[in-house]
Structure 1
Amino acid sequence: MDPLNKLKSVARKLKNDLFVLFLSYKDPRTPFFAKIVAICVVAYAFSPIDLIPDFIPILGYLDDLIIVPLGIALALKLVPSQVIEENRVRAEELKRNGKPKNWIVGTLFIIVWILVAIWVGKLIYSWFA
């Protein structure tokens, strides 16, 4: 397998694992701490705002290449294996039928990012005022 196809395969697996984590977060058999880690990883992976902005050369993409896969690996370790296996099957069905749209959670994340931006803006303003 050439490097490009291997990279594409790894990317597909990571994307599928994100769907598995999304489903595992909703599963009542998933421990509370695992749910917290899973939702943070999924939210960060799908969020348009990164810890390190992508326009910063090299470093901008390192968080996507390191933080997201490490977060996925950690979350998968915390979720019970039976839940993961069941949700792998459900994730395949979900991908075939289209991604779910949860406008309430989406709105919540937008509000959180706006509040963080306001807080950072006030912090910066206080430094220069």
Structure 2
Amino acid sequence: MKKLKVWARKLKRQLFVLYLAYKDERVPWFAKLFTACVVAYAFSPIDLIPDFIPILGYLDDVILVPLGIMFALKMIPKEVIAECEIKAEEMMKKGKPENWVVGSLIILVWCIISFWMIVKLSQFFT
């Protein structure tokens, strides 16, 4: 159980590193795009495979997120990662970053998708 807690803390720290690296101008645009997707997916309350599905629901969190973090870290310059690791430690002591603008955009996107699906389903059944 202790190893699992250490692994989870390391994963959380790496997400903070990616969150900070995304904002750095030395990171290439394609790395920023991929990093933004990884961080958004990790912090999103909506998963690709819902958690209520036995076993498979948690596999995306255990496999997809760590793989995404690993690939994103490989795309970012080492000096940026080193600087962001120091900042991430400080940030973890203070708590999780709050970004209501991004959260609102995610909710808006999901509302649009839901509305579109309702319209399409109503057209299908009429």
TM-score clears 0.5: yes
Structure 1 residues 47 and 33, CA gap change in structure 2 (3 angstroms): same
Q: Does 1:23 align with 2:17?
A: no
- 1:100 corresponds, among 93, 97, 105, to 97
Distance, in Å, in 2 between the alignment partners of 1:119 and 1:81 is 42
Q: Does 1:44 align with 2:41?
A: yes
Q: Which digits, 9 at most, give the CA deviation of each residue in 1:64-112, with x for residues without a partner?
A: 1111010110111111111011000000111112222221111111111
Q: Structure 2 regions of 5+ residues with no counterpart?
A: none
**Equivalent pairs: percent with the same residue?**
60
- 1:5 corresponds, among 2, 8, 14, to 2
- 1:79 corresponds, among 69, 76, 81, to 76
Distance, in Å, in 2 between the alignment partners of 1:122 and 1:23 is 39
What is the SS of the residue equivalent to 2:47?
coil
Distance, in Å, in 2 between the alignment partners of 1:103 and 1:40 is 17
The aligned counterpart of 1:115 is 112
TM-score (norm 2): 0.93
For the aligned residues, what is the CA RMSD?
Answer: 1.3
The one-letter amino acid paired with 1:32 is W
Distance, in Å, in 1 between the alignment partners of 2:8 and 2:120 is 37
Q: Which stretch of the first structure deviates more once superposed, 95-104 or 16-25?
A: 95-104
Structure 1 residues 123 and 61, CA gap change in structure 2 (3 angstroms): farther
Structure 1 residues 126 and 73, CA gap change in structure 2 (3 angstroms): farther
Q: Structure 1 regions of 5+ residues with no counterpart?
A: none
Count of equivalent residues: 126
Distance, in Å, in 1 between the alignment partners of 2:15 and 2:29 is 18
Q: Does 1:88 align with 2:94?
A: no
